[in-house]
Chains A and B, each alone.
Chain A
Amino acid sequence: MGTFRRPGREPSFDAVAGNGLINRRALLGQGIALAGAAGITGTTGAAAEPLKDEAWSLAFGEVTPALQTPSRFEKDVTRALSNPKGEMRNSHARTPHHLLNGTITPNAMHFSINHCGTPDIDPAKHKLVIHGMVKQPLEFTLETLSRYPLVTRPHFVECAGNSAPMFSSAPLQAPAGMLHGLVSNAEWTGVPLSVLLDEAGIDPAAKWLVAEGADAQFLDRSIPVKKAYDDALVAIYQNGERLMPGNGYPMRLLVPGYQGNMNVKFLRRLKAVDQPAYSYFETKNYSQVLPGGKTWRFHFLMEVKSFITNPSLGHSLKEPGFYAISGVAYSGNGRIAKVLVSADGGKSWGEAALQGPIAPKAFTRFVMPWKWDGQPATILSRAWDETGAAQPLRAEFVAQRGQTKNPVATPLAFPNQHYNSVTAWGIDNKGEIKHVYA
């Protein structure tokens, strides 16, 4: 096996923290070239059967389809549904983070919440209107928006209720895709909202935009004009193709780093006003009761967060030896600056490698090399963003935000909103993984 070492950059296999965490420099930047990997795993090639050609190599293959779908062997990699029978109520589909990797969520796997079903919108008839406190009300179509100079940026979208089961007084046993499946990350392409507002000539006294969708509740949220001029987009492409129906086809508002519900889908109207509307969703669902009964309103910001996707509940470690702990980190404030990982329940921490380029308000994948000795271990991650904001430890978080009186029974429950504390996975001496609090 070849050993690739960069001059002046000796890979180190020194432990950087307790219970087997290895210096991230062992990853040699790209996360794959492990010098002496055989040495650290101790795995030797078991006597294998002689290689032979398999049946799929000995026959002409399938016809190339117009629209390709994953291998039949990947049929279990799907979103988890909250309303599989299609009852007349809201429906959620959660991203299976524990079965995915990288940072871009494939469009078919992007999370989706619909409060009154998904409208079947004809893009040739859909219109977006900007009016209210503007000099000239304007109407746009998908065709006219497509003629603008479009910008493309990766951004996460996270439901304010993502990770809500983590408010449970006891850890709920569910995989990362159920606990944290209401966040996804895509490359969005669209028109900067500031361009369209300038064309309409927004009144300086207008501090809010009421953004409204074309669904059967005309879902609306109040968006600060400040945010609209900062980095908001009217998005018309998602990972290079038109938006998925469940993600707002044919156009949605994108307010990077803010509550998912504010990224109004099926966007049809933006009304400039001088006060927030106190719409149903900003009045009720997407505001948080605090211990003592006060409430946070217009919280907006999805704060710095990370969770380990691999290994995590639903996986098992087959044998002691080398593993790469990896997961995603993101912050509504901007770029991820640092992720620390612990394998001993938070007693000691090592700095994980971040896979670049690191984009603001987008997923960053972290990787931490680890040698598991076959003994019980508790792994968890903690992220910091470029503003210095730290992902709170659970004890800190619960002291400020509280937890439920009784354990939460289902990952589909929303006891509260805006959970961004750590997630810990407990691994026993058989390699089985449970959700634990640490």
Chain B
Amino acid sequence: MSTRKSLVALLLVLGTGVALAEPPNLGRKISEADVKQWDIAILPDGSNLPPGRGTPQEGAKVFAEKCAMCHGDQAKGGVMPFYPALVGGQPLTNGIETPKTIANYYAYATTIFDYTRRGMPYNAPRTLTDDEVYATTAYILSLNKLIGENDVMDAKTLPQVKMPNRDNFILPYPDRI
């Protein structure tokens, strides 16, 4: 680095503490393939959904075995007050404290898949296969009458599920995005 460049770098560090003329470049170069196991975020347009499929009937079996212990029979809740029901929901016009549910609130069905795969079961995250996650998601959507009892959920169909509350959101600060 030339003296002048060093000086510029130093001044930038001292002046703002944020900008370096020459970055330290201490990150190790990796490839997307290296990140594959971690790369679990699903986007609402279906980007990054994995291969696989599942139906409500298949999901009912997974749910009874691995989910109902907390969320209750047929996802009706009632096991412990802090484990929510996953079916039903009051209209949001009932008041500002109305509990937000999949049926009355979620804008995208991909959120259910994403959260189930990253965090459920609560006591054993990342243990469901992708097919099981598709099936469980299909089962919950079917219980809420958001898809048919025989509909298959996969990377193509899941993002197409129309959630009833999708157009009910407002951005209070659009210029911050």
Contacts and interface: CB of A to CB of B under 8 A. Distances in A.
A271 B39 contact: yes
A34 to B, nearest CB: 38
B27 A196 contact: yes
Nearest to B115: A280
Contact of B20 (A145, A149, A220, A285): A149
Given A129-B35, A149-B13, A199-B23, A139 B95 contact: no
Given A140-B27, A198-B23, A404-B97, A216 B119 contact: yes
Interface of A: 87-90, 116, 129-131, 136-140, 144-145, 147-149, 151, 167, 192, 194-196, 198-200, 207, 210, 212, 216-218, 220, 224, 226-227, 268-269, 271, 273, 275-280, 283-285, 287-301, 401-405, 415-416
B18 interface: yes
Contacts of B27: 130, 138-140, 144, 196, 199-200
A129 B30 contact: yes
A207 B174 CA distance: 13
Given A217-B119, A278-B111, A147 B26 contact: yes
A129 B38 contact: yes
Contacts of B64: none
B42 interface: yes
16 contacts: A87-B82, A89-B83, A90-B82, A116-B119, A136-B29, A149-B13, A192-B18, A195-B23, A226-B177, A273-B43, A275-B44, A283-B111, A296-B169, A299-B173, A404-B96, A415-B97
Interface stretch (B98-106, B132-140, B150-158): B98-106
A273 B39 CA distance: 12
Contacts of B118: 217-218, 220
Interface string B30-65: 111011001111111101000000000000000000
Nearest to A414: B97
A149 B17 contact: yes
A220 B41 contact: yes
Interface in B86-115: 91-93, 95-98, 100, 105-108, 110-111, 114-115
Chain B binding surface SS class: loop
Given A131-B35, A224-B177, A287 B169 contact: yes
B2 interface: no
**Nearest 8 A/B pairs, CB to CB:** A138-B27, A217-B119, A415-B97, A293-B92, A280-B115, A293-B93, A151-B17, A144-B26
Contact of A295 (B97, B169, B173): B169
Given A218-B125, A405-B95, 10 more contacts: A137-B30, A140-B26, A151-B18, A196-B27, A207-B177, A217-B119, A277-B114, A291-B96, A298-B173, A301-B173
Given A88-B123, A295-B168, A290 B115 contact: no
Contacts of B29: 136-138
Given A280-B114, A301-B176, A137 B35 contact: yes
Contacts of B114: 277, 279-280
Given A217-B118, A283-B107, A284-B100, A294 B169 contact: yes
Interface string B6-29: 000000010001111001111111
Nearest to B27: A138
